[in-house]
């Protein structure tokens, strides 16, 4: 089986700067209109439409229609995982190729990574769970131990139900800003969803940034034994 041409085709689709900006804007898991994606890519609506058509035809994006509006989202979690990997490789490349960090410290600290929590906060949570032997992360997968299941069940996360999902149960995801793993897969997605439902985290309207609420500061510290503020940052008032 010849994979080279297929790899080259996918690489060409995501490698265009305008399309890369569009895909980055969709990494928070939401669906956006063509106009919103044109703004994110700094291109005209006509140019954006041509780019979006190529991404849909290439299986990178999925299109949904609602009334007169068309909404675009990443076609699958596999696409999100691919983009995460590209970001990690780009950030960890040779020094002369390192992209300048433009995300700001809020984005570095806590953000959406398609369907799970990423950034410094996510890496610190993964570290704590690993140190407590509540989660064991390997190269390509992860395991929730009985102690970890008790913790997650106590937070209202149905671990048994997650094992029945048709997706990877738990896996490490290399955080492209921290260059260390955070937790992805069904477990990572369920943790993020629960943190949002409990009001511990709050989504930003126009970016992937996640803000820790005052309630979140208290409960994240109780659950994971960490002060959920950036390293060297001020304690919440």
pLDDT in tens, the chain (237 residues): 566 678 898 999 998 999 998 998 888 777 889 998 998 899 999 999 999 999 999 999 999 888 788 899 898 888 887 887 787 777 666 654 544 444 568 888 999 888 899 999 999 999 999 999 999 998 778 999 999 999 999 999 999 999 888 788 999 988 877 878 999 999 999 999 999 999 999 998 777 889 999 999 999 999 999 876 665 454 444
CATH code linked to domain 4-75:
1.10.10.10
Q: How many angstroms separate the CA atoms of 200 and 47, rounded?
A: 39
Residues in the chain: 237
Q: How many angstroms separate the CA atoms of 148 and 162, rounded?
A: 14
Q: Please work out, in degrees rounded to the nearest 5, the angle formed at the alpha carbon of residue 154 by the alpha carbons of 149 and 157.
A: 70
Which regions of the chain carry the CATH code 1.10.10.10? 4-75
């Amino acid at each position: 089986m010849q994979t080279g041409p297929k790899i080259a085709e996918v690489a060409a689709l995501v490698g265009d700067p305008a399309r890369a900006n569009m895909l980055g804007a969709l990494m928070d898991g939401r669906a956006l209109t063509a106009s919103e994606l044109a703004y994110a890519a700094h291109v005209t609506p006509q140019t954006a439409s041509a780019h979006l058509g190529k991404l849909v035809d290439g299986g990178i994006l999925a299109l949904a229609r609602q009334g007169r509006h068309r909404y675009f989202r990443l076609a699958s979690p596999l696409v999100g995982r691919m983009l995460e990997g590209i970001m990690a490789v780009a950030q960890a490349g040779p020094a002369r190729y390192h992209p300048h960090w433009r995300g700001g410290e809020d984005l570095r600290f806590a953000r959406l990574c398609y369907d799970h929590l990423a950034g410094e906060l996510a890496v610190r949570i993964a570290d704590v769970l690993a140190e407590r032997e509540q989660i064991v992360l390997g190269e390509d997968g992860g395991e929730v131990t009985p102690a970890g299941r008790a913790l997650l069940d106590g937070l209202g996360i149905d671990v048994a139900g997650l094992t029945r999902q048709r997706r990877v149960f738990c896996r490490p995801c290399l955080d492209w800003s921290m260059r260390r793993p955070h937790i992805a897969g069904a477990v990572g997605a369920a943790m993020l969803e629960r943190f949002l439902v409990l009001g511990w985290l709050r989504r930003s309207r126009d970016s992937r940034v996640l803000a820790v609420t005052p309630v979140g500061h208290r409960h994240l510290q109780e659950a994971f034994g960490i002060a959920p503020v950036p390293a060297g940052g001020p304690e919440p008032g």
